[in-house]
Structure formats: structure tokens, C-alpha cells
Amino acid sequence: MKTLLNLAGVACISALVFTACKKNVAETVVQEEVSSAVLSKIQNLGFSTQGVHKVANGYLVEGDITLTDENLNVPSSSPNLIIASEEQYRTTNLVTRLPRTITVSVTNLPTVYSDATNNAINRYNNQHLGITFQRVSSGGNIDIIGFNQGPSGGYITLGSSGFPTASGDPYNQIQMNTNAQAYGTNPDPLYMASVIQHEMGHCIGFRHTDYMNRAYSCGGRHQNEGSAGVGAILIPGTPSKPDANSFMLACSNGTNRTFNANDLIALNYLY
């Protein structure tokens, strides 16, 4: 997840005035050419091929999503969930063997990150889904770690993560930015919790809600990748126009954004 900085350095501004393009997400990005074969696989899975970067454990796409080689080489059997003509949830794989408990740990991060993690866990558990998140001191199924990276191209990365494995396990890592310009010198734990909640959403299989038009939350030109020939399942009862309050919008507006009614429909559909 990303946010746009104003000229003062740390204040967030509305998506309506976002103008910069996406840049690097994590300090592990290696600037090397991505082959056409890999780009083709990324596109066939329905992801944008704009700004793809090679990272240590795969390829970084759409600003905050890591696709591993396994993601690229194993066909998806889970549904694409379209919400209206502009918004979409799409999953490559889902967490399976439900009901199950997913443990979450925080490694070498300040207390505010730990408190925000507990808050995000509670937000999911309060929905009484088929998955339950449990905080552990170390070695969690999802481990939250830090990286330090300043703004690039007017944006700053807040966090990044990936998608479930083909075997049905959640993605095992969330990276959270410790740079002061990401959350300020006195971070708002609720705002940070909303970012962790968003990245946990990726870990269990959620795509960005504005996948069909990422310019909706991030600005820039209209980007519509279509369904990439992999099909889609419409969720009944979801809106027929963009939903400004979804927790899975690609870019943050700097506020505490949690589940709205349509997010809960999608959560309960999957889990």
C-alpha cells in the first residue's frame, strides 16, 4: 500500500489530486530487467505489468504485492471477485483447510507496530470468519518485519505483502516501512492498523478493490487490465459504482480505513 506525500513531506492528500506514478516498494528491489516471459505470466494472472520489479523472493507488482515463482507457475483454481465495473477483488489462491488459525508475529519493530497489529487482528476476528488470527511472540505464519525507505516520485510505500500459496497457506510476510515520512514521528496506531489490515488482506488472497481502475485511489492514467481470460464471479449485493471506503483500495488516503459493508460481503463470501 502507498500514499502520496505533499510538499511538506508527511501529510497525506486526497486521491483526487494524486499525480505521481508508482515507484519502488521495498528496499529489496533489484533493478534488473524482467523478462517478457515473466511479464506474460503476470499479465495472464490478471495483474498490471506496469512498473514490475524483481525482488528477492519474486516480482513486485501493483505497488505492494509480491508474486513468487510459485504464484506465476501454478494455475489458479480460486475465483475472481468483481465488484461493479470499476472495482474488483481478485484472488490467485485462497487459504484452505478451514476453519483454521493463522498466527501472526512482529519482529524487531517498535511498540506502535505491535499495537497496530493487535488492532488489525481484532478487526478480522470480530467478523467470526472461517479463519482466526492469533498473535504469537515469534515464528508466526505471517511475520511482520520492517524496512526503511523514503519517498520516491512523490509517493511513499507504507507496506507490502503477497498472496497465498498453491497449497492453501497464507503469504508468510508483511513488510512495514519504518521511515519517519511513512507514518510520521508520532504514528497513529489506528492508521497503521488499517495498513496492516490491508496487507493481511493480500496474505489471505484479496486483490486491490480498484484493480479495474487503479487511478481511482492512486491517480494517474486509467488502468484497466480486464479479467485476463481467467473468468470472474460477481458478488451479489455489491455496488455498481466505485466504493471510496474499501479497505483494499490500492492507495491510502491517510485515514483509518477499515471494513465497509461491501468488504464484509466479500470476506464472508471467501471465508
pLDDT digits (tens, 9 = 90+) for 160-175: 999 898 899 999 999 9
| Residue 216: pLDDT band with limits 50, 70, 90 | low
Taking the model in full, what pTM does it have? Answer: 0.78
Share of the chain above pLDDT 70, in %: 69
> How does pLDDT run across 219-237, given as a tens digit for each residue?
665 554 444 333 345 566 6
What per-residue confidence (pLDDT) applies to 62? Answer: 75
d(CA 107, CA 146): 8
Domain positions in the chain: 2-270
Average pLDDT of the segment spanning 232-246: 61
Lowest mean pLDDT among 8-12, 46-50, 84-88, 125-129: 8-12
CA separation, residue 133 to residues 58, 85, 126, 136 (Å): 26, 32, 10, 10
What per-residue confidence (pLDDT) applies to 220? Answer: 60
What per-residue confidence (pLDDT) applies to 49? Answer: 80
| Residue 16: pLDDT band with limits 50, 70, 90 | very low
Domain 2-270 has CATH 3.40.50.720: no
